[in-house]
Amino acid sequence: MLSPTILVAFSTVVLATVKLQDPSDIIPASDWAADNALIADYNAPFPANGQPEDFESLVFVSVVGVHDIKDKSVSVDHVTWHATKNDTSVVLNWASFYGFNAAVNVVSFFLSIPRRRHWYTAGILFYKANKSVAVLDHVNITVHNGAANVYSYGTGTVVNVTNSWLYSSGPVSHGLYASGNGTIHAKNLQHYSGGHRSSAFSGDSPAGYIYVEDSVSRVRGIGSATYYALGEIHATNVASVAEQGPVVFSDGKQKIYLKDCSAQAGLLGGAVLFSSSVRRAGAVLDLEDTTITTTGKTMPGLWFGNVIADARLKSVH
């Protein structure tokens, strides 16, 4: 029989919740409640390859960049940029961009919110032309009406974000969003998203690669996961709360690695790995020195469905 002391210890682990200070302490979710209530049409046609066939044409036609940086290297310091027109990003980057101590605010309305799948709308968008490289340090990025904070697209495109503050509202407003084999490295972030299906750190087809450490995140909308894996996600020392979603949501043979992380899930399960099409093999879930708390009475810690996965757990609660 377990001693009372041991029983208390187990109870503490099960009932522990993650306490955070995040951007919603500064901008209350109630300020953007109508925005966060918007729902995109997820039955809209989706390209067979997972991305627009002519991404460059779509960017030029559909998304305006207040600052369009192409075929050159640009560095800015202590600036504030705004976008208020419809379907507008603050920066469209096709080369090299270095931003320090800057504020980026997007308050425009993306006209296709009811039907769009959010391939290319963001506060700052980095595109694959010339293998774009970006460095963002001490940057405040605030977006509304459904857009990612930072979007990296294309093979060879690499974004580095450090010491920065990310806030978003509206549907599918991911914090860090990488697709088309784009990559994002992040450290010391404070992140919040309030919309539905608005994950903190998200990859997309055919793959996105995200590396994040020493950061905090809260996502509040229904179906919003902390980590949405299509590609690879590596997280170290990240504290997170997904109020109405899982910590990890992975579709297919994706790979996710969490180390020294503390995470809380409020819907579905702690880590959810499945395949939405045919059964897939090759998914990887690697957890080390990590705690995952689920708040629902019937929520599993790990949930696998229609997928063959390798799971490695070391010092995990």
Q: What is the per-residue pLDDT across 221-251, written as a single tens digit (0 to 9) for each?
A: 999 999 999 999 999 999 999 999 999 999 9
Burial label for 226, CB within 10 Å (0-12, 13-18, 19+), is buried
Would the pLDDT of 118 be above 50?
A: no
Would the pLDDT of 264 be above 90?
A: yes
Would the pLDDT of 2 be above 50?
A: no
Q: What is the pLDDT of residue 111?
A: 42
Q: What is the pLDDT of residue 107?
A: 58
Q: What is the pLDDT of residue 124?
A: 66
Residue range 288-307: mean pLDDT, rounded: 96
Would the pLDDT of 11 be above 80?
A: no
Q: What is the pLDDT of residue 281?
A: 93
pLDDT band per the 50, 70, 90 thresholds, residue 47:
low
CA-CA distance, 122 to 143, in Å (whole number)? 8
Would the pLDDT of 61 be above 50?
A: no
Residue range 279-291: mean pLDDT, rounded: 96
Would the pLDDT of 106 be above 80?
A: no
Any residues with CB less than 8 A from the CB of 74 and at least 6 apart, and which?
Answer: 95, 96, 97, 98
Would the pLDDT of 125 be above 60?
A: yes
Residue range 266-287: mean pLDDT, rounded: 95
Q: What is the pLDDT of residue 129?
A: 46
Q: What is the pLDDT of residue 192?
A: 98
Q: What is the pLDDT of residue 100?
A: 76
Q: Which long-range contacts (CB under 8 A, 24 or more apart) does 234-240 make?
A: 234/210, 235/201, 235/211, 235/259, 235/261, 236/212, 236/260, 236/261, 237/213, 237/261, 238/212, 238/213, 238/214, 238/262, 238/263, 239/18, 239/20, 239/215, 239/263, 240/18, 240/20, 240/200, 240/216, 240/264
Q: What is the pLDDT of residue 39?
A: 83
Residue range 20-42: mean pLDDT, rounded: 86
pLDDT band per the 50, 70, 90 thresholds, residue 115:
very low
Would the pLDDT of 14 be above 60?
A: no
Q: What is the pLDDT of residue 208?
A: 95
- % of the chain surpassing 90 pLDDT: 50
Least confident stretch, 6-10, 92-96, 135-139: 6-10
Residue range 183-190: mean pLDDT, rounded: 97
pLDDT band per the 50, 70, 90 thresholds, residue 166:
very high
Q: What is the pLDDT of residue 86?
A: 59
Residue range 31-60: mean pLDDT, rounded: 64
Mean pLDDT of the residues in the chain: 82
Which is more confident, 119 or 177?
Answer: 177
